[in-house]
Amino acid sequence: MIASAAAAPTAEEAAAARGRLAAMMERGGALAWGVADADAFDEAPEGFRPGDLLPGARRVVVVGGSPPRAADWASPVHEHLETMGTSDRINSLGLKTAKFIEAEFGYYALFVPPGVRRGNRPFLSVALAAELAGCGSRSLAGPVLHPEYGLLFYSAIITTYPFPVTPPLAEPACPAPACVEMWEAEGETPCTRVCPLGDGGCLDGRIEDGRLVERRYDAARCTSRVYTHWIPGFQKGLELALDQDDAEARKMVLYSSHFTKTLWSMTYAAQSQGQCWECMRVCPVGAEFRDKA
Ligand code: SF4
Ligand code: SF4
């Protein structure tokens, strides 16, 4: 049975509940977790805040992990990361977390599904939730970076249970000290050097007093490189096939290795597909975690 507001836990009970929840998520493979206040999502548009998805929402639990493994980064075969994905594992842990909260504490827990709701906008910005919950901070390159692991995938669960909140990071993970040094010496960072906005790339920014104070990003150009395969690749391929009047030409599109690879990539990842990530490959945050012998 789901508890009513009258059965609100004491602060001690809520702290103990968060400890049990954290232990469950870590056993399930979480590398990071946090709890954001559901009322802190002011920068999200109306209709896309926790309370819009779950009436009475109090908290957003965020669980992070399942990044590409070190060997995935090391492989010189670009089709490897283009085909496989690791984000699904964080979604199954997110679903398990929602089930745990409802079963153990008797409060509503809504898993935020990957994918888009309306206007190509996600149900809830999981990146914002991860930042508010202190799992990481937004970076010049875009992704929320965890201070130790760098790029992680995240899943969010909206709940009516009042777990104690974990605060946002006091010190942002980006820019890394090495990036500040590089900026001061050369006016660029590893990610802006590999993908410079002014020279056919997507990223630019400004660092002042060791802090990122401006970020410029060509989302359209990045999307055209990041989404060659997977769901957008499928949409493009299908459109091309439907445009063919000739049956043989249609077959050539549908049975091509590009279209087949796109279907394989969709079976691997519900959330994201690593089709570029050159900006992350050179990022010092999490570099130790990506390097093996
Ligand atoms: S994912 Fe690729 S195209 Fe997009 S910003 Fe990073 S390096 Fe540039
Ligand atoms: S390389 Fe990483 S840490 Fe450095 S500025 Fe770019 S995103 Fe930030």
* Dihedral sign, Cα of residue 137, residue 139, residue 142, residue 147: negative
pLDDT in the model for residue 261: 84
Contacts of 138 (CB under 8 A, 6+ apart): 127, 131, 144, 145, 172, 174
| Per-residue pLDDT tens digits for 170-223 | 999 999 999 999 999 999 999 999 999 999 999 999 999 999 999 999 988 998
Distance, CA 282 to ligand 1 centroid (Å)?
11
The pLDDT confidence band at residue 232, using thresholds 50, 70 and 90, is confident
Of the listed ligands, the closest to the CA of 147 is: 2
Select the more confidently predicted residue: 230 or 45.
Answer: 45
Answer yes or no: is 184 within a domain: no
Answer yes or no: is 289 within a domain: no
Of the listed ligands, the closest to the CA of 151 is: 2
The pLDDT confidence band at residue 79, using thresholds 50, 70 and 90, is confident
| Per-residue pLDDT tens digits for 245-270 | 999 999 999 999 989 988 888 887 76
Of the listed ligands, the closest to the CA of 200 is: 1
Distance, CA 145 to ligand 2 centroid (Å)?
9
The DSSP H or E segment spanning 90 is: helix 88-105
Query: In this structure, which amino acid lies at residue 62?
Result: V
Distance, CA 89 to ligand 1 centroid (Å)?
24
Looking at the CA of residue 205, tell me the nearest atom of ligand 2: 5
Residue with CA nearest ligand 1 atom 3: 222
Count of all residues that appear for the chain in the document = 293
Please tell me if the CB atom of residue 175 comes closer than 6 angstroms to any atom of ligand 2. Answer: yes
161 phi/psi in degrees, rounded to 5:
-80, 130
Please tell me if the CB atom of residue 202 comes closer than 6 angstroms to any atom of ligand 2. Answer: no
| Per-residue pLDDT tens digits for 85-138 | 777 789 999 999 999 999 999 999 999 998 888 888 999 999 999 999 999 999
pLDDT in the model for residue 202: 96
* Residue 8 in tokens: 């609100």
Distance, CA 207 to ligand 2 centroid (Å)?
11
Answer yes or no: is 197 within a domain: no
Answer yes or no: is 31 within a domain: yes
Task: Quote the number of domains for the chain.
Answer: 1
Residues having CB within 6 Å of any atom of ligand 1:
141, 194-195, 201-203, 222, 225-226, 276-279
Please tell me if the CB atom of residue 191 comes closer than 6 angstroms to any atom of ligand 2. Answer: yes
- Weakest-pLDDT range from 25-39, 73-87, 127-141: 73-87
- Of 214, 159, 165, which Cα lies nearest the Cα of 192? 214
Question: Does ipTM come in above 0.90?
Answer: yes
Answer yes or no: is 290 within a domain: no
CA distances to 137, 202, 215 from 25, rounded to whole Å, are: 21, 35, 33
- Of 89, 97, 92, 136, which Cα lies nearest the Cα of 18? 97
Answer yes or no: is 117 within a domain: yes
Residue with CA nearest ligand 2 atom 1: 283
- Weakest-pLDDT range from 24-28, 29-33, 65-69, 107-111: 65-69
Check if the beta carbon of residue 229 is closer than 8 Å to that of residue 262.
yes
Contacts of 280 (CB under 8 A, 6+ apart): 141, 143, 150, 151, 191
- Weakest-pLDDT range from 20-34, 138-152, 270-284: 270-284
Structural domain boundaries, residue 98: 5-159
Q: Is 192 left (phi over 0), alpha (psi -120 to 50) or beta?
A: alpha
| pLDDT reading at 21 higher than 90 | yes
Answer yes or no: is 186 within a domain: no
Distance, CA 194 to ligand 1 centroid (Å)?
8
Residue with CA nearest ligand 1 atom 4: 222
Rounded to 10°, the helix 230-242/257-268 angle is 140
Q: Is 2 left (phi over 0), alpha (psi -120 to 50) or beta?
A: beta
Check if the beta carbon of residue 36 is closer than 8 Å to that of residue 133.
yes
Answer yes or no: is 118 within a domain: yes
pLDDT in the model for residue 6: 53
Contacts of 164 (CB under 8 A, 6+ apart): 11, 14, 15, 18, 35
| pLDDT reading at 271 higher than 70 | no
Q: What percent of the chain has pLDDT over 70?
A: 96
